[in-house]
């Protein structure tokens, strides 16, 4: 992506993977030289301590942009010191909300896909919210199927009451704020669309959130009010991906609003330059 967008790129790998980084750098350098890229265009920058991160993040006039891929600790460390622009690929505490008008078979398929298909990625669903009017019909079978798929479940009191023999631990306040990166899910029953929207905007990370509904009006209200980079109606959150969006490769998903939000691909890695040719024109 650096070559295609005309950018020089520093890939700062973790110090815990220094040997792997060295091997990958050697392979990339050899492959690039074989494709006509000048010798020495790709090299290895050793090290990886936090003091070096500070040095990199304060190189005004040298470094144009930092795009951190890592945990909240890396994000916090950069926020404390960076003087160059940063686009944060923030965590993905993603939600699926099942509306009172939802097709419950479609809802079940979407939720299972969003949680189970690849649970360790940033666009996997971590929280399920269900409208009270359909909770009694949907949750017993859905919770059972999630449990069979190996998902550890935590939930509110109403979810526990509908779980039957499926084990559902009581959800803590921290659970609603957690990106699990694995087979665990928080489940809650809500009284209204507004309550679901408030919950998502309060606990979510602005990454990807979905509603299952048959009502266009409800779907429009959800997409208007949920403040996330990608908002879905009747589709899995797992589609937030550069390839799925038709953008090709990406370097992450931005939850910021400027200059780009969502998948960061080639277009988002470039800037605009205006070149004006004249023949003596002046502005009156």
When divided into structural domains, the chain yields a total of 2
Whether residue 154 is contained in a domain is answered as yes
Q: What is the pLDDT, as a whole number, of residue 48?
A: 60
Whether residue 183 is contained in a domain is answered as yes
Nearest by Cα to 177 from 195, 196, 199:
199
Q: Which two tokens stand for residue 152?
A: 């550890």
Whether residue 28 is contained in a domain is answered as yes
Distance (Å, rounded) from C-alpha 91 to C-alpha 66?
Answer: 16
Same domain, 85 and 111: no
Same domain, 195 and 104: yes
Instruction: Give pLDDT tens digits for 98-113.
Output: 999 999 999 999 999 9
Percentage with pLDDT > 70 across the chain: 99
**How would you classify the pairing of strands 253-254 and 262-263?**
antiparallel
Q: What is the pLDDT, as a whole number, of residue 115?
A: 98
| pTM greater than the 0.85 cutoff | yes
Instruction: Give pLDDT tens digits for 147-198.
Output: 999 999 999 999 999 999 999 999 999 999 999 999 999 999 999 999 999 9
What residue numbers bound the domain in which 42 lies? 2-89
Whether residue 250 is contained in a domain is answered as no
**What's the average model confidence in pLDDT over 118-128?**
96
């Amino acid at each position: 992506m650096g070559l295609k967008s005309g950018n020089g790129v520093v890939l700062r790998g973790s110090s815990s993977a220094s040997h792997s980084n060295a091997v990958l750098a050697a392979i990339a350098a050899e492959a690039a030289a074989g494709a006509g890229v000048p010798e020495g265009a790709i090299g290895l920058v050793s090290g990886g301590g936090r003091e070096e991160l500070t040095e990199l993040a304060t190189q005004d006039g040298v470094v144009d942009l930092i795009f951190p891929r890592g945990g909240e600790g890396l994000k916090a460390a950069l926020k404390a010191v960076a003087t160059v622009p940063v686009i944060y690929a923030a965590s993905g505490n993603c939600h699926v909300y099942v509306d009172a008008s939802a097709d419950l078979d479609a809802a079940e398929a979407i939720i299972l896909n969003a949680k189970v298909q690849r649970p360790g990625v940033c666009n996997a669903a971590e929280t399920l919210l269900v409208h009270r009017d359909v909770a009694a019909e949907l949750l017993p079978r859905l919770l059972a199927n999630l449990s069979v798929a190996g998902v550890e479940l935590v939930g509110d009191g109403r979810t526990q009451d509908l779980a039957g023999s499926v084990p559902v631990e009581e959800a803590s306040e921290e659970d609603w704020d957690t990106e699990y990166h694995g087979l665990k899910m928080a489940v809650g029953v809500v009284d209204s669309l507004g309550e679901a929207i408030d919950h998502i905007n309060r606990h979510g990370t602005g990454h990807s959130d979905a509603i299952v509904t048959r009502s266009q009006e409800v779907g429009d209200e959800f997409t208007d009010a949920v403040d996330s980079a990608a908002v879905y109606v009747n589709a899995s959150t797992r589609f937030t991906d550069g390839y799925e969006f038709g953008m090709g490769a990406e370097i992450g998903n931005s939850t910021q609003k400027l200059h780009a939000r969502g998948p960061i691909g080639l277009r988002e890695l470039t800037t605009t330059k205006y070149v004006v040719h004249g023949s003596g024109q002046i502005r009156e």
